[in-house]
């Protein structure tokens, strides 16, 4: 029997000594609804997106009330072109469906880029399922994944 995404995330977090809390929540039709269920602001419900570049993939983490600023992200990464892969390609690359993506426990050990606006905060991320969220301190996540921090959103 293969492990569930929640078990995979818990094991991956433990392996990196990353303290996380998995919180059950109901289905949500929007980011705002999910944030309300968790009792946090939309800003703190961070969108984790798998992005493809010429040399592979990366995770871009931006506050829920913002969007990726593609020119800024390209500058921080040091490339001329980045794209969002299709939902199918993203699933194949990281093992998570859109809306549930997280770098924690992903099938690819891709670099992580975090928007500077969430430094020092407790944030919620995707958990590999549509019924849970993953709570983590941003600074711990950055340490555990040797993430690059920059101004990558608008």
Secondary structure of 59-96 in the HEC alphabet? EEEECCCCCECHHHHHHHHCCCCCECCCHHHHHHHHCC
Residue range 27-32: average pLDDT? 88
48-58 tens-digit pLDDT: 999 999 889 99
Residue range 37-51: average pLDDT? 96
Given this model, what pLDDT does residue 3 score? 63
Spell out a b/e string for 43-75, using b for 16 or more CB atoms within 10 Å of the CB, else e: ebbbbbbbbbbeeebbbbbbbbbbebbbeebbe
10-20 tens-digit pLDDT: 999 999 999 99
Given this model, what pLDDT does residue 1 score? 39
Taking the C-alpha atoms of residue 105 and residue 113, their distance in angstroms, rounded to an integer, is 16
Average pLDDT, the chain: 94
Q: Which residue has the higher pLDDT, 42 or 25?
A: 42
- Domain range for 60 is 5-150
Residue range 22-49: average pLDDT? 93
Residue range 79-97: average pLDDT? 96
Q: What backbone phi and psi angles, to 5 degrees, belong to 114? A: -120, 130
Taking the C-alpha atoms of residue 31 and residue 103, their distance in angstroms, rounded to an integer, is 19
Residue range 36-63: average pLDDT? 96
Quick one: which of 57, 152, 139 has its CA closest to 95? 57
Given this model, what pLDDT does residue 22 score? 93
In this structure, what CATH number is given to the domain that contains residue 22? 3.90.960.10
Q: How many domains does the chain have?
A: 1
Taking the C-alpha atoms of residue 4 and residue 132, their distance in angstroms, rounded to an integer, is 12
Residue range 89-100: average pLDDT? 94
pLDDT higher than 50, residue 70 = yes
Looking at the DSSP bridge assignments, the partners of residue 54 are: none
Residue range 88-103: average pLDDT? 94
């Amino acid at each position: 029997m293969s492990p569930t995404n929640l078990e995979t995330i818990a094991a991956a977090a433990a392996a990196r000594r990353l303290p996380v809390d998995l919180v059950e929540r109901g289905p949500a039709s929007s980011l705002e609804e999910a944030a309300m269920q968790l009792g946090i602001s939309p800003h703190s419900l961070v969108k984790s997106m798998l992005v493809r570049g010429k040399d592979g993939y990366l995770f871009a983490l931006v506050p829920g009330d913002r969007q990726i600023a593609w020119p800024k992200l390209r500058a921080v990464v040091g490339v001329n072109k980045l794209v969002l892969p299709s939902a199918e390609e993203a699933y194949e690359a990281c093992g998570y469906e859109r809306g549930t993506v997280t770098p924690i426990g992903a099938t690819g050990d891709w670099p992580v880029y975090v928007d500077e606006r969430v430094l020092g905060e407790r944030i919620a991320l995707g958990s590999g399922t549509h019924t849970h969220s993953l709570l983590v301190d941003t600074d711990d996540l950055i340490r555990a994944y040797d993430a690059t921090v920059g101004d990558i959103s608008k």
